[in-house]
Amino acid sequence: MALLEVKDLDVRFAVRGGDLKALRRISFSLDKGERLGLVGESGAGKSVAAFSILNLIAKPGYIAGGQILFEGRDLAAMSERELRRIRGNRIAMIFQDPMMTLNPVLTIGTQMVEAIQAHRKISRRQAREIALDRLRKVQIPSPEKRLDQYPHELSGGMRQRVIIAIALLLDPDIIIADEPTTALDVTIQAEIMALLLELCERENVALMLITHDLGVVSQVTQRMLVMYSGRIIEQGPTREIINDAQHPYTQGLINALPQMGEPGGAIVPDPRLHAVAEERALGVPLPPPLPLRQRAVPAVDAGLCPFRQRGRGLLRSEQPD
């Protein structure tokens, strides 16, 4: 049984003039310790997919159908109380903006301790020890000092490390990271991504990584989903898709990538992407989604993952009940 299995998930936003279909019956699974990439252009439904998994879609959005099976139990059908036991505990989330997780008026230590105590009956002192341990894990300089600082006293990169430390607080099974490094400087981005990868590998945490960066997806994930307009149009082993994409939309995304090993290579727009955009503007339907890939993958040059040399990650805490 997969750790997480999303089946025919249908999410809509009730807007004037009718329902806007944000997720059109998407299905995918995530195994224990697996790293899954989710790519697609802005508005494709990636964040909605991430939020839906934790049943965090707020009005006017709603889950109109489908199942989100976590260890076989349907999160879409759980009570808020049951969900709170899972969020931030078994499944953690990391957002692009650390301030979506951090409270500006509380110290890092207070927030971490509260997040732990919301889920575990332990003393403040024990919780502080766990917080300190996680800050060490994310290789933050002077971790003791950080506990007594406020979020605004830290740099963007350090804040995102704190977010990863919070994500790891309760030893989650899954981390969902939605564009976790987009807000950071390019050099810091690679460091944070490397840390996230290293920690997920070491702690055997499954990662669902949402990013617009196919380079990152190819280096970090084992399987990937390509979303377009609320649908998963292609999914399979990352290496196979990167090397031999079947869907024209995916082919366009890949061809828009800078050449491997070309530092800072400019992203050249691929004419096929324009064609796809134009077709959409004209209301021409895209070719239908492809069936799940099952065939064997030709061996592809593995290359060295530049992220593996260094390392860094993120998540969302809960207020105590």
Ligand X SMILES: Nc1ncnc2c1ncn2[C@@H]1O[C@H](COP(=O)(O)OP(=O)(O)O)[C@@H](O)[C@H]1O
Binding site for ligand X (CB under 6 A): 13, 15, 20, 22, 40, 42-48, 60-61
Between residues 180 and 236, which has the closer beta carbon with respect to Mg ion?
Answer: 180
Between residues 46 and 128, which has the closer beta carbon with respect to Mg ion?
Answer: 46
* Residue number closest to Mg ion, CB atom: 47
41-79: burial string, b at 16+ Cβ within 10 Å, e else: beebbbbbbbbbbbbebeeebebeebbbbbeeeebbebe
Residue 4 contacts residue 70 (beta carbons within 8 Å): yes
Tokens 């990662």 appear where?
207
Single out the segment in contact with Mg ion by CB under 5 A; choices: 30-38, 43-51, 197-205, 274-282: 43-51
Q: Shortest distance, CB of residue 221 to ligand X, whole angstroms? A: 17
Q: Shortest distance, CB of residue 8 to Mg ion, whole angstroms? A: 22
How far apart, in whole angstroms, are the C-alpha atoms of residue 268 and residue 280? 21
Local structure of 272: helix, strand or coil: helix
How far apart, in whole angstroms, are the C-alpha atoms of residue 102 and residue 99? 5
Local structure of 208: helix, strand or coil: strand
Between residues 47 and 229, which has the closer beta carbon with respect to Mg ion?
Answer: 47
How far apart, in whole angstroms, are the C-alpha atoms of residue 76 and residue 54? 8
Pairing state between β 91-94 and 73-74: unpaired
Find all residues with CB under 8 Å of 78, minimum gap 6, and list them: 55, 86
Q: Shortest distance, CB of residue 283 to ligand X, whole angstroms? A: 16
Between residues 98 and 230, which has the closer beta carbon with respect to ligand X?
Answer: 230
Single out the segment in contact with Mg ion by CB under 5 A; choices: 20-28, 47-55, 186-194, 233-241: 47-55
45: partner contacted, choices Mg ion, ligand X, none (Cβ within 5-8 A by kind) = ligand X
How far apart, in whole angstroms, are the C-alpha atoms of residue 239 and residue 221? 9
Q: If binding is defined by CB under 5 A, does position 47 make contact with Mg ion? A: yes
140: partner contacted, choices ligand X, Mg ion, none (Cβ within 5-8 A by kind) = none
* CA-based torsion, 107, 111, 116, 122: positive or negative: positive
Find all residues with CB under 8 Å of 144, minimum gap 6, and list them: 132
Single out the segment in contact with Mg ion by CB under 5 A; choices: 2-10, 42-50, 52-60, 114-122: 42-50
Q: Shortest distance, CB of residue 18 to Mg ion, whole angstroms? A: 23
Q: Shortest distance, CB of residue 177 to ligand X, whole angstroms? A: 13
**Token pair listed for 10:** 């249908």
Phi-psi region of 266 (alpha: psi -120 to 50; beta: other; left: phi over 0): beta
Q: Shortest distance, CB of residue 48 to ligand X, whole angstroms? A: 3
How far apart, in whole angstroms, are the C-alpha atoms of residue 245 and residue 289? 12
Q: Shortest distance, CB of residue 139 to ligand X, whole angstroms? A: 29
303: partner contacted, choices ligand X, Mg ion, none (Cβ within 5-8 A by kind) = none
Pairing state between β 206-210 and 4-15: unpaired
Between residues 169 and 210, which has the closer beta carbon with respect to ligand X?
Answer: 210
Number of residues that bind Mg ion (CB under 5 A): 2
Q: If binding is defined by CB under 5 A, does position 182 make contact with Mg ion? A: no
Between residues 60 and 287, which has the closer beta carbon with respect to ligand X?
Answer: 60
Between residues 93 and 135, which has the closer beta carbon with respect to ligand X?
Answer: 93
Between residues 61 and 98, which has the closer beta carbon with respect to ligand X?
Answer: 61
Q: If binding is defined by CB under 5 A, does position 110 make contact with Mg ion? A: no
Taking the alpha carbons at both ends of the chain, their separation in whole angstroms is 31
Q: Shortest distance, CB of residue 150 to ligand X, whole angstroms? A: 29
